[in-house]
């Protein structure tokens, strides 16, 4: 295990630097937009632009990688992302910022595509789960560090944008000097909404609804905290509380979903998330920062695991080997919802109290509960012993991360398996699959 992690040390270092810079930049831009007097609708479009660019990048960047290779793609997109971070304080125009956020989303989708496909190429079925866990720990730790860097300088100035740009540019160094061989080209995700919906209506609709809520509160919570009269320090703490709460709760909620009807767990967690949204709205009117932080931890713990729960629920109804492709399609469903969510929430907040942001998320989670209850009457759940495993999965990533997910083992050939010699077994036993005519095909 230590050797496997050491072999991808340069990639993990790039991830840590890149995510720290992006974590700082994402919240900083929303804070600065509010300081500059952008209204809620403009800030909502700012958040939506990033998700739109990210979704387009997930679809198109695999072709860029195939054309110029992993390292050149990473270098070009890191330069693009670093450049956009410097332009915000130079040109304070809403439409320019929308374009910059879309470009940044496109660039980061490509950066994640390169890193996650590279990590997957270094994984085998024996170490896949461990590498996935290490990757998630690095990503969550770096996101938290980026949020805390908000306190390094005043958001009204140029310094924080420069720090974000510097970090994004530096993430190129470990990848550029690595001696590791680049992996094969990656495949683009396919949506196939009809196939996904037939497999799991709750999975598809649920992930869309989760995206409507998560993208809204994750993008607009800085505005919410500022309009309550708090400063940058409180913004960074509330955002970190949401992130930490979500990270800590993934495992116990996932443990429950592996042992009970997963659909029931989804409904229960969504119901509690609706209560959590109402609690955030209520606490906001009290003015107590400790109370706000406490409820933020609980709210993050209830909302962030829903995406991974719904991925696991959908996987329970898929054929073996469909996990990677279907999960990539669900990620694109999430991307569509993430574009719409901030625009809806910003309309709700426009010239109205800031706490209505969480009234909006509560309403979305109530709709998810009602749809889940209706689906519970349509077909029985699979027995708990036949359910697949739950794995904590970040919502804003690329389809390539699902190849690294331990559940992809069913679709992957174990490179460490011992293959019997051809002379000692008939071709059907050493076959790598069957041809178009159904005949056994020997492994190359």
Residues 134, 4: contact at Cβ < 8 Å? no
**Secondary structure class of 444 (helix, strand, coil):** coil
**Of 194-198, 248-252, 351-355, the least confident:** 194-198
Residue 195, both tokens: 């196939």
Supply the pLDDT for residue 424: 36
The answer on 404 and 255 residing in a single domain is yes
The pLDDT > 70 percentage for the chain reads 78
Instruction: Identify whether 392 is part of a domain.
Output: yes
Of 122, 155, 188, which marks where a domain is finished? Answer: 188
Q: Does residue 430 lie in a domain region? A: no
Residues 276 and 321 reside in one and the same domain: yes
Domain boundary among 167, 188, 209: 188
CA gap 297, 308 in Å, rounded: 18
What are the phi and psi torsion angles at 427 (to 5°)? -55, -35
Type and span of the H or E element at 431:
strand 431-434
Same domain, 75 and 16: yes
Domain assignment present for 429: no
pLDDT of residue 402: 60
Judgement on whether residues 203 and 308 belong to the same structural domain of the protein = yes
Residue keyed to tokens 């992302």: 81
Decide if 438 is inside a domain: no
CATH number of 58's domain: 1.20.1250.20
The rounded mean pLDDT for the chain is 82
442 sits in which H/E element: strand 440-442
The answer, yes or no, to whether residue 130 has pLDDT greater than 50, is yes
Is there a single domain that holds both residue 338 and residue 373?
yes
Q: Are residues 209 and 182 in the same domain?
A: no
Please give the pLDDT value at position 8. 73
Q: Which residues pair with 263 in a beta bridge?
A: none
Residue 12 counted as domain residue: yes
Three-class DSSP category at 434: strand
Instruction: Work out the burial of residue 388: count CB atoms within 10 Å of its CB; fewer than 13 is exposed, 13-18 middle, 19 or more buried.
Output: buried
In a domain, 425, yes or no: no
Count of structural domains within the chain: 2
Residue with tokens 């690329």: 398
d(CA 131, CA 417): 19
407 to 125, 133, 207, 263, 397: CA distances (angstroms): 10, 13, 19, 19, 17
Across residues 304-314, what is the average pLDDT?
86
Q: What integer is the mean pLDDT of 423-438?
A: 39
Please report the pLDDT score of residue 71 as a whole number.
84
Q: What is the pLDDT of residue 168?
A: 94
Of the listed ranges 247-261, 306-320, 392-406, the least confidently predicted one is: 392-406
Distance between first and last Cα of the chain: 29
354-394 pLDDT per residue, tens: 999 999 999 999 999 999 999 888 887 777 666 667 666 66
DSSP-derived pairing of the beta strands 440-442 and 431-434: antiparallel
- The Cβ of residue 13 has, within 10 Å, a number of other Cβ atoms equal to 17
Let me know whether 74 and 216 are in one domain.
no
Residues 363 and 328 in one domain: yes
Both 96 and 151 in one domain: the answer is yes
Do 162 and 208 fall into the same domain?
no
Per-residue pLDDT at 435 exceeds 60: no
Residue 53 vs residues 102, 159, 330: alpha-carbon distances, Å: 4, 25, 17
Q: What is the mean pLDDT of residues 306-329?
A: 75
* Domain shared by 172 and 195, yes or no: no
Residue 426 domain-assigned (yes or no): no
415, part of any domain: no
Give the pLDDT confidence score for residue 415 in this predicted structure: 39
pLDDT digits (tens, 9 = 90+) for 318-367: 766 666 666 677 788 888 999 999 999 999 998 889 999 999 999 999 99
At which of 127, 154, 188 does a domain end?
188
Q: Select, from the ranges 61-65, 186-190, 324-328, 401-405, the one with the highest average predicted confidence (pLDDT).
A: 61-65
C-alpha gyration radius of the chain: 22
Instruction: Dig out the tokens for 278 from the structure.
Output: 């109402």
**DSSP notation for 333-384:** HHHHHHHHHHHHHHHHHTTS-TTHHHHHHHHHHHHHHHHHHHHHTTSPPPPG
| Confidence at residue 184, expressed as pLDDT on a 0 to 100 scale | 63
Residue range 38-60: mean pLDDT, rounded: 91
Domain identity same for 345 and 196: yes
Contacts of 438 (CB under 8 A, 6+ apart): none
pLDDT higher at 195 or 68: 68
Q: Look up the domain containing 156 and give its range.
A: 1-188
Between 5-19, 39-53, 102-116, the lowest mean confidence (pLDDT) is in 5-19
For residue 28, pLDDT beyond 60:
yes
Tell me the mean pLDDT in the region 172-198: 71
């Amino acid at each position: 295990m230590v050797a496997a992690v050491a072999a991808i040390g340069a990639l993990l270092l790039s991830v840590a630097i890149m995510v720290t810079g992006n974590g700082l930049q994402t919240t900083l831009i929303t804070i600065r937009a509010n300081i500059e007097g952008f209204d809620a609708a403009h800030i909502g479009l700012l958040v939506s632009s990033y998700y739109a660019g990210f979704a387009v990048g997930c679809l198109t960047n695999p072709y860029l990688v195939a054309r110029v290779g992993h390292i050149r793609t990473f270098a070009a997109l890191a330069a693009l992302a670093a450049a956009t971070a410097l332009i915000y304080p130079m040109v304070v125009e809403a439409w320019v910022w929308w374009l910059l956020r879309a470009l940044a989303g496109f660039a980061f989708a490509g950066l994640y595509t390169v890193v996650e496909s590279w990590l997957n190429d270094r994984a085998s079925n024996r170490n896949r789960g461990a590498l996935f866990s290490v990757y998630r720990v690095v990503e969550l730790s770096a996101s938290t560090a980026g949020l805390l860097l908000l306190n390094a300088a005043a958001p009204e100035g140029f310094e924080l944008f420069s720090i974000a740009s510097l970090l994004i540019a530096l993430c190129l160094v470990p990848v550029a000097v690595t001696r590791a061989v680049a992996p094969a080209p990656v495949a683009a995700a396919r949506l196939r909404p009809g196939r996904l919906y037939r497999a799991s209506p709750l999975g598809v609709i649920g992930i869309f609804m989760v995206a409507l809520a998560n993208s809204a509160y994750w993008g607009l919570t800085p505005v919410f905290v500022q309009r309550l009269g708090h400063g940058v320090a409180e913004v960074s703490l509330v955002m970190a509380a949401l992130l930490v709460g979500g990270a800590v709760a993934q495992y116990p909620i996932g443990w429950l979903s592996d042992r009970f009807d997963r659909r029931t767990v989804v409904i229960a967690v969504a119901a509690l998330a609706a209560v959590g949204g109402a609690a955030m709205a209520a606490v906001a009117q009290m003015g107590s920062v400790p109370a706000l932080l406490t409820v933020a931890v609980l709210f993050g713990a209830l909302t962030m695991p829903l995406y991974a729960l719904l991925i696991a629920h959908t996987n329970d109804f898929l054929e073996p080997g469909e996990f990677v492709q279907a999960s990539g399609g669900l990620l694109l469903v999430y991307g569509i919802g993430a574009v719409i969510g901030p625009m809806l929430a910003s309309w709700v907040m426009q010239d109205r109290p800031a706490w209505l942001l969480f009234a909006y998320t509560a309403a979305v989670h109530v709709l998810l509960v009602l749809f889940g209850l209706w689906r519970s009457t349509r077909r029985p759940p699979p027995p708990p012993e036949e359910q697949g495993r739950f794995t904590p999965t970040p919502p804003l990533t690329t389809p390539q991360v699902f190849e690294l997910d331990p559940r992809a083992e069913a679709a992957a050939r174990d490179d460490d398996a011992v293959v019997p010699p051809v002379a000692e077994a008939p071709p059907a036993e050493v076959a790598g699959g069957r041809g178009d005519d159904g005949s056994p095909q020997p492994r190359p």
